[in-house]
Amino acid sequence: MNIERRLARKQYNIIKNMSGLRKPKLEDIFERRLYIVPSDIVVENFQRSPVVVFNPGALHMKDRILIFPRLIFDYYKYVSSIGIFEVEISEILKGALNKPIHTTIILWPQLLWEFLGCEDPRIYSFKNRMFILYTGKGYCYEEGQLRRKDFLGLAELNESKRIIRKGFFKIINRTEEFIPESNKDSAIIGIHGEEATLLTRPEIERQRICWRGVADISKLTIEENTLEPVFPLEKWEIKVGWSTDVVRLSKNEYLVGWHAVLKEDLSYRNGIALVDNQGELLAISDYLLAPRGLQEEYGDRPLVIFGDGLIKHKESLFWMGGVSDYCIGVFTARLDSVLERLRWLKG
């Protein structure tokens, strides 16, 4: 029995035993603050203008937010890069940013495994280092054949926000290694030495649910025996995944956004989960954020709010998400309003 088959057994058990945890109920509690569209963006270090800007990561810096947008400049190959710009929180609360927004590309395809694009960043700051988890769309060779996959990439940046190194994660044990067909939608909970606790979403036998695990960020490996499913998809969903980075609430409580794709209309809907420092599920909501109205429902991929940035500022949560694969939306909700909608499993 190989790595994927053993993980599939764990996956089967949680789908069997934990289904019914959530309800197909939407209570959209997030306020729409503003949208950032492609024409708002000026890229400083590239001569073209983006046709779409979406699915941003975010990092809280006191009264500012660093935003890491996914940028695409053509529809021919639809290849993504990742940029960076900053905004003042006061501007968001007023609903108006200073424009144009000057952006710099910091991550772009350079290697075979990210040949088709660098997508959907999640940001983690640690000491003087910054780590970006992202999806590398590309290829690898398996048994002499070129295979198309979605890789869980990691880029390490220095204080000047320049890339020091990057690579992708493999799942390993003592005798095997496994690269899933898709491994993405991941976030770092914490780092101790070279060991990182992750929320992650490997595709196992064509199923996509939410997992946790422990990674070696030096070797870029995830030990098979650390991978455990966290919660499954429900019968009305096609897949679920983690949407955002994590927000620390206390010593052992972290908020994280998650998403599901509905069978009914292929829409993305989002909720909030509370996990501990090992990624175990403490509490979870039903759907709290979903696309509504022309601006959010219509785009290059209709009916999407997705990822990737979640921050806490005072008593509010800020969700920076991609809107229908075209623009960025900034959504806010009161923290107490989110917490009172969590269904507790532990704690």
How, if at all, do strands 221-223 and 210-216 pair? antiparallel
Please report the pLDDT score of residue 307 as a whole number: 85
* Position 9 in a domain: no
State how far Cα 262 lies from the chain centre.
Answer: 18
Please, are residues 237 and 185 in contact by the beta-carbon 8 Å criterion?
Answer: no
- Partnered with residue 316 across adjacent β-strands are 313, 334
Q: How many CB atoms lie within 10 A of CB 188?
A: 23
Q: Max alpha carbon distance in the chain (Å)?
A: 57
Give the separation between CA 313 and CA 21, rounded to whole angstroms: 29
Contacts of 94 (CB under 8 A, 6+ apart): none
Count of structural domains, the chain? 1
* Position 258 in a domain: yes
Helix (H, G, I), strand (E, B) or coil at 304: coil
Using the structure block, give the residue that is written with the tokens 């890339």: 163
Please report the pLDDT score of residue 184 as a whole number: 97
* Position 6 in a domain: no
Using the structure block, give the residue that is written with the tokens 């144009």: 100
Tens of each residue's pLDDT in the chain, 347 residues: 899 999 999 999 999 999 999 999 999 999 999 999 999 999 999 999 999 999 999 999 989 999 999 999 999 999 999 999 999 999 999 999 999 999 999 999 999 999 999 999 999 999 888 999 999 999 999 999 999 999 999 999 998 899 999 999 999 999 999 999 999 999 999 999 999 999 999 999 999 999 999 999 999 999 999 999 999 999 999 999 999 999 999 999 999 999 999 999 999 999 999 999 999 999 999 999 999 999 999 999 999 999 899 999 999 999 999 999 999 999 999 999 999 999 999 76
Q: How many CB atoms lie within 10 A of CB 57?
A: 27
State how far Cα 120 lies from the chain centre.
Answer: 6
Please, are residues 213 and 227 in contact by the beta-carbon 8 Å criterion?
Answer: yes
Contacts of 130 (CB under 8 A, 6+ apart): 59, 123, 124, 156, 157, 158, 161
Domain that holds residue 281: 27-344
* Position 200 in a domain: yes
Give the separation between CA 213 and CA 202, rounded to whole angstroms: 11
Please report the pLDDT score of residue 1 as a whole number: 84
Tell me which H or E stretch contains 254.
Answer: strand 253-262
Closest CA to 341 of 255, 233, 234: 255
Domain containing residue 99: CATH number: 2.115.10.20
Please, are residues 235 and 19 in contact by the beta-carbon 8 Å criterion?
Answer: yes
Give the separation between CA 39 and CA 53, rounded to whole angstroms: 9
| DSSP structure string for 180-202 | -SBEEEEEEEEEETTEEEEEEEE
- Partnered with residue 190 across adjacent β-strands are 197
Give the separation between CA 294 and CA 179, rounded to whole angstroms: 39
